Structure 1
Amino acid sequence: MQDAVDAMVAAVAARDAYAIAGLYAEDAIVLSPNREATAGRTAIRDGWVRSFAAGYSALRVGRVRTERGTDRAASVFVWEATIAPQGSAAQTLRGRSILYLKQVEGGWLISADMWQQAPA
């Protein structure tokens, strides 16, 4: 599960929406504050394409806690993201997330991703 978080950080640094989407199950959902749920790997990829276009450029993750069963796991962590739209000053967004993962042949995929902004 830590591998999924590490892969997410690396994919954000590379601004690779396809790599991020590949971390999710085909039927995965992302629950974001004040938005409709994003459902499916393609929609998740498209959301990251839009985020990168809006200046999302870095992700730092801390304090990961994971609980694992035989074929399911959950990871909870805090994070900071840098958003630097072209021509504007960079901003830092702080949040906390929970990932629900399922084991598939060859590794783990994110089945559900829920995040919220954390207090400053």
Structure 2
Amino acid sequence: MYRITKEFHFSASHQLSHLPDDHQCARLHGHNYIVVVELASADLNADGFVRDYAELKPLKTYIDEVFDHRHLNDVMDTASTGENMARHFYDWCAARWPETTAVKVSETPKTWAEYRP
């Protein structure tokens, strides 16, 4: 199996107001997010790629236009946890690129959430 990944970055604020008031994530705060999309295939295309990295530019455009420097509570239909964001980006990518196998989202250098069906 061949696997490729591409990383995207954005900054945004959010607030997990469903958490207790004394939980740090219940307060308004922000992160420098990293989104990593993974695609896999048993075979390569005629150019020798799982998929040309340039074909993933629509994800950068989507992130820049919808998520970057936004308040995620205004953007997401679900709680803006890393886990929900990973699923959101997975669904968005899989609808465009059937080779999508996973998406990871980082809120901090030490934390990652991943969605992999």
- Place the TM-score, normalised by the shorter chain, in its bin: under 0.3
Instruction: Report which of the two has the higher share of helix.
Output: 2
Name which structure has the greater RCO, CA cutoff 8 Å, separation 6+: 2
TM-score (structure 2 length as normaliser): 0.25
